[in-house]
Chain A
Amino acid sequence: MKKLILLPVWVLIVIFISGCTPFFIKENEPVILSNNGNTVNSNVHISSDRSANLQIESINSKLTSGIVWDISKDGSYLLTSKQVDAQLKDSILQNEKFLNMSIYDIETGQSNPPVYSNKNQVNGRIDLNNDGYVYLETTSADQIPNLRLVWSDNTGDTTKNLSSSNESVSIGYSMVNENTLVYANNRSEITLVDLDKAIAGVAGANRTYKLSKKLTIIGVDLWEKENMAVFSTYDDSTKTYDLYIASLNKKEVAPVLIDSNIRYFTLSKEQGQILYTLAGEKDTQRLILYDLASSTGKLLKEGYIGLFSFSNSGDKLIFSERNDPSSNSQNLWLMKTDGTDSLQLASNLNVYGYTVVFHPKKDSVYFTVFEINDANTDNRKISYTVYSIDYNAS
């Protein structure tokens, strides 16, 4: 009996003396690790596909200041929004800035100084045909910011309103082709704009299609081949974003739901495919590639997906991945649209927005990185810088 009592006492003593020393971990013994890509949470964090090679040839972290929106078809210049200080007459707030469009010449590295506007000019698209660009301009009416679609020449001297003053344009519009753009408004209408005519002021520049169903359209694009409008909507009752498709061949446009609870989408006109993100588990997003012809979706990646864009040819895509859902810091990845050959382009950058611009003629991408200066929340300032990465993916 004594032994029976003493045994656990000794066990306890041994345990306490050992101080819960790890039995299976060797102390002070170096262990060589090999990065085989088998990291934890690989279902959340993306890992490089080791079968493919990517060489970063150069990175320019200070290409120009501002937010990049588009690149010219010849790849010679970028359309950006630069932060300009509000003129005193336009703001009582000290150090308030407005985003005004600007052209950045890649070859010279010079930016045209933006034409001052006391309105924020965002989401620009280059109109190469007409040496101009289109952008959204915020107008504040009744304290609710409205957006207006505006065309400007590259110098900023001439501007034209493409949307009417009684409509608020949705933030997401798109260039269908070199002469046509599509936008939606707050009246559940999708409008196609003939730029030449619009700029020339010719009547009939706009063709408007009314949805058969009242929907708050957030972003719209057009699959020109099939004359199908793809658009995202916001459902106020469910507080979710939905993705629809609708044929514009009929007068009354009946939207067909593709998916619900999406975040953003982008359309590859060349491939007839949509990229969009869907809310996944544990705050992750699922990057879905949807083929419009076959009406089938494919899960490409799941993680803390940020922005994503098709390459110009539509066979590749670029997307960003946050290190954690609350982080602004993101990694940029290049991938084929079939979900293979994931290659990391950038690491831990505060990538801004939803756009990464592919150079039309070489393996270069341009994107915006923001920086928050001054930890003091009252004086927090955000600055934007355009990054460029030249890579070689074999």
Chain B
Amino acid sequence: MKTIAILLLTGASLLSHAGTPQQIGQAYAQEAGSQTPGFTASAARGKDFFLRRFDVNAKMPACTACHTDNPLAAGQHAVTGKAIRPLAVSANGERLSDPAKVEKWFGRNCKEVLGRACSAAEKADFVAYMSEVR
């Protein structure tokens, strides 16, 4: 009985954290829309953002410093050398499935690469690109 209760609880907690790339993108797009009425996410803008050099951090001048310029490919951490699995959902089904995790990494990586927080619009575009790229 205890086991079943634990399993149910685990299942429920998984559900409450889970999300699809679409849901995660929608949440960011909604936030962006509240700041800029009429906003719609764009995978093309997301791609530009992904490839842009910000040159704030010498070791990590762009997203591509660790993730390579191909989101379908595996990357390598620019400092530690640890392998990084692909960002694109089509190449790595675990991506964009946990809103808290996505937000955590935007928090860390935007600060590190852009030297500031990313806007909701930038996040929505980025999520659109990573969801759609094949």
Is B truly associated with A?
Answer: no
Spell out A's residues near B (CB within 8 Å): none
Spell out B's residues near A (CB within 8 Å): none
